[in-house]
Amino acid sequence: MYLETITFKYLVDFKCTGSECSDICCKGWSVRLIQEDYQKMADEMSGSPNMQEELLNKIHVSQTEDGQKRYRLKIGENGHCLFLGEDRLCSLQTRFGEKNQPHICVGFPRIVSIIGQRMEISSTLACPETARRCLLDPEAMTIVDFPVGMLSDFVKPNFIVNARNPPPYIGHFDLIRAEMFLLCGLKGFTAATRIFFICYFVNRVGAFLNLSTTDHVAERLDKEIKFINDPDVRQELHSQFLKINLSEKKCMSLIEQLMNATFSCLVNSEFEALFVQAFLGLGAVMTNGRVVAGLDEMIANYHQIKQKWSSEFNHEIDQYIIHYIMNSILSLPYLESQNLLLYVRNILIATDVFKLLLFGLLGKNKEIDNKTHDFRKAYLEDTVVKVVQRFSKSINHNQKILAILQQELDRQKVDTLPQMIFLIQF
């Protein structure tokens, strides 16, 4: 029993769209099973030789060096899970019920965290419906209690944090995260300035609080929270931030290097095609089946496209960025990161990639300029949902890619506040 249960407003009445989904979750990845998953499926399918053979044909079994068995759902040549029926629904669920589906499938797209006596439900944006609800609804990120029955009894938590006698880094989690949410929601500042406030805050806090901290830091943390919440301090920081003028070339170059390092690990050809189309929209060309890009030209085009769309839809684009960041903060607690600034850095890199994809795709469609304001807004909404959803599905759920990104960022020493500025301004 939990003393508190919270979620985002956009998830309260979320329902899977099932066979009507534009990008079903049964496509594009091979789901890893735990022993309990496999055993439930084996028990249910033990009733006939045909079902036993089906189990053998649709689950990949391997063995580790120490003799432990590993299980994965096989996917077909079309990228679909072999248990997906012709009706585009899971045949395990339709035949044996939700309780006999793999735990990852039952929980998706929800992410469940247990923080002491509080249960939190957030969501991955790898689902088209959660991406649409999160990004487009102005009230989406309101934190509310979740109603009874919102979560299936068969869903397992993704994160469990024991709050009994925790080290300071965990013990002050609620205060720090609440401040990040507060800074995200500030009125009267652009998304970039609000993100700068967050980076400035976590950089100062990181001077005395990280994963290895054992000292008592409550007083210092309280002082930093009061400092960043001083209106005069914020206004001065805002003024200083506006005076910083860095080249976007460094960020574009970094993103290009990151994506080149990870393309070999992509299993989603649709996402790779999306990235190619975005680069073409920024001025790259196809030569002998390869994308050839000049950074200076791409930067100029990116800046022009960004300016054009932001001049008409600045409020909406800021909303997409802030909602994406807030969703990341709740769904991926900072507790496993070495320090707060690196945690925010990883969120910013993801945000910059989705901005590059968004403006690149918007630039690819030259005919959109002749359409009405309402048509362009609808096109913008469709594009940002597609970009964030496919990015989340292809990269945020690929552990190999995440490891490569982490290594590349560490290698390039993107780990200080000055280094963060060019990520914020991109």
Read off the pLDDT of residues 99-154 as tens digits, 9 standing for 90 and up.
889 999 988 999 999 998 899 999 999 999 999 999 999 999 999 998 877 777 77
Q: What percent of the chain has pLDDT over 90?
A: 59
Which one of 105, 140, 159 terminates a domain? 159
Read off the pLDDT of residues 47-83 as tens digits, 9 standing for 90 and up.
889 999 999 999 999 988 888 899 999 999 888 999 9
Tell me, yes or no, whether 256 and 235 share the same domain: no
Given this model, what pLDDT does residue 165 score?
A: 85
How far is C-alpha 27 from the chain's CA centre?
A: 18
Per-residue confidence at 213, pLDDT binned at 50, 70, 90? Answer: very high
Q: Give residue 164's pLDDT.
A: 80
Per-residue 3-state assignment (H helix, E strand, C coil) for the chain: CCCEEEEEHHHHCCCCCHHHCCCCCCECCCCEECHHHHHHHHHHCCCCHHHHHHHHHHEEEEECCCCCEEEEECECCCCEECCECCCCCEHHHHHHCHHHCCHHHHHCCEEEEEECCEEEEEECCCCHHHHHHHHHCCCCCCEEECCCCCCCCCCCCCEEECCCCCCHHHHCHHHHHHHHHHHHCCCCCCHHHHHHHHHHHHHHHCCCCCCCCCCCCHHHHHHHHHHHCCHHHHHHHHHHHHHCCCCCHHHHHHHHHHHHHHHHHCCCHHHHHHHHHHHHHCCCEEECCEEECCHHHHHHHHHHHHHHHHHHHHHHHHHHHHHHHHHHHHHCCHHHCCCHHHHHHHHHHHHHHHHHHHHHHHHHCHHHHHCCHHHHHHHHHHHHHHHHHHHHHHHHCCHHHHHHHHHHHHHCCCCCHHHHHHHHHC
| Domains in the chain, number | 3
> What is the total residue count of the chain?
426
Task: Looking at the structure, tell me whether residues 151 and 54 fall in a common domain.
Answer: yes
Domain co-membership, 283 together with 342: yes
Are 292 and 415 found together in one domain?
yes
Examine the domain organization and report whether 288 and 144 are in the same domain.
no
Domain boundary among 214, 243, 272: 243
- pTM for the model stands at 0.91
- Is pLDDT of 9 > 80? yes
* Pairing label, strands 69-73, 285-287: unpaired
Domain holding 253, by residue range, is: 249-425
Q: 196 and 334 share a domain?
A: no
Do 279 and 131 lie in one domain? The reply is no
Q: Is residue 194 located within the same domain as residue 151?
A: no
Pick the last residue of a domain from 159, 187, 210: 159
Is the distance from CB of 229 to CB of 185 less than 8 angstroms? no
At residue 266, the pLDDT reads: 56
pLDDT confidence of residue 300: 87
Residue 407: other Cβ atoms inside 10 A: 11
180 and 55 belong to one structural domain: no
Task: Say whether both 93 and 194 belong to one domain.
Answer: no
pLDDT at 158: 85
pLDDT of residue 397: 62
Is residue 8 located within the same domain as residue 97?
yes
Banded pLDDT at 379 (limits 50, 70, 90): very high
- One domain, residues 325 and 397: yes
Read off φ and ψ for residue 49, nearest 5 degrees: -60, -35
